[in-house]
A and B are shown apart, each in its own frame.
Chain A
């Protein structure tokens, strides 16, 4: 069985603050993929990043960065110098790359981020 936990239900910050969204996962497979999606107030789901289990390099994309640590089964997401437009629900997700659960995508409960001006 696979599981994704986003312990932070809601986070509220003031613009320009840095904020980290936590994601902890559980899986028995050695090959898996992790994702982050953003859901702005308009409701659509926007893909942000994919990471496979063999690649533990951290990634930076503009103000966004991701820290993947297999030792702690975490895939945390940091927004630097947050902006009001970052206000959204953020989801972490996991899928195994093979076996009987191939194709099953498990999402965390989501973290509601509110950035105040």
Chain B
């Protein structure tokens, strides 16, 4: 079954304790991305990756790191979590076909089930 998986689904931790949220997709998608969802703010993009070893900052990258060593995995790392990083996190992937020059297509993103993180 084609899917995006995230682990853990729920995590309660304390300030400063490094953590990693894993994300894996089995659809051979080039593009992967992380978002956080907060009430009244919608989803905000943290980091994204167009392909292996290619990552870029989204709108709210502070306090987060990512890596893309393999196509299927895109872990989100919080080196020193703080309470303001308490949020619902979503990983997403999509197929990137073409470039602006080719005039084609930016495909819809498939989202993981979400990880609810609480930092005390």
Q: How far is the CA of A98 from the CA of B50 in the complex (A)?
A: 12
Residues of the B chain whose Cβ atoms lie less than 8 Å from the Cβ of A9 = 40
A43 on the interface (CB 8 Å rule)? yes
Q: CB-nearest residue of chain A relative to B38?
A: A109
Chain B interfacial positions (CB closer than 8 Å to A): 31, 33, 35, 40-45, 48, 50, 56, 58-59, 88, 90, 92, 99-101, 103, 105-111, 113-114
Classify chain A: how many residues form its interface, as a range: 20 to 34
Given A98-B99, A98-B100, A99-B100: A105 touches B109 (CB 8 Å cut-off)? yes
Contacts A99-B100, A108-B42 given: A47-B109 contact, CB under 8 Å? yes
Answer whether A103 and B90 are a contact pair too, CB < 8 Å, given A44-B114, A91-B42: no
Contact A43:B114 (CB < 8 A) given known A50-B107, A97-B100: yes
> 9 other contacts beyond A43-B113, A50-B107, A103-B48, with CB at 8 A cut-off?
A31-B100, A33-B106, A98-B100, A103-B31, A103-B33, A104-B45, A105-B45, A107-B43, A107-B44
Q: How far is the CA of A107 from the CA of B38 in the complex (A)?
A: 12
Number of interchain pairs (Cβ within 8 Å): 65
A104 to B101, CA, bound (A): 18
CA distance A97 to B97 in the complex (A): 11
Nearest CB of chain A from residue B3's CB, rounded to whole Å = 11
Distance between A21 CB and nearest chain B CB, rounded to angstroms: 13
Across-interface contacts of B88 in A (CB, < 8 A): 43
Roughly how many angstroms separate A74 CA and B100 CA in the complex, as a whole number? Answer: 23
CB pair A109 B40 closer than 8 Å:
yes
What are 23 inter-chain pairs, A to B, with CB distance below 8 A? A31-B103, A43-B88, A44-B114, A45-B43, A47-B109, A50-B107, A52-B105, A52-B106, A91-B42, A95-B106, A97-B100, A97-B106, A98-B99, A98-B101, A99-B100, A102-B100, A103-B56, A105-B45, A107-B44, A109-B40, A109-B41, A110-B42, A110-B43
Cα–Cα, bound, A9→B39 (Å):
11
A20-40 to B contact mask, C-beta < 8 Å, 1/0? 000000000001010101000
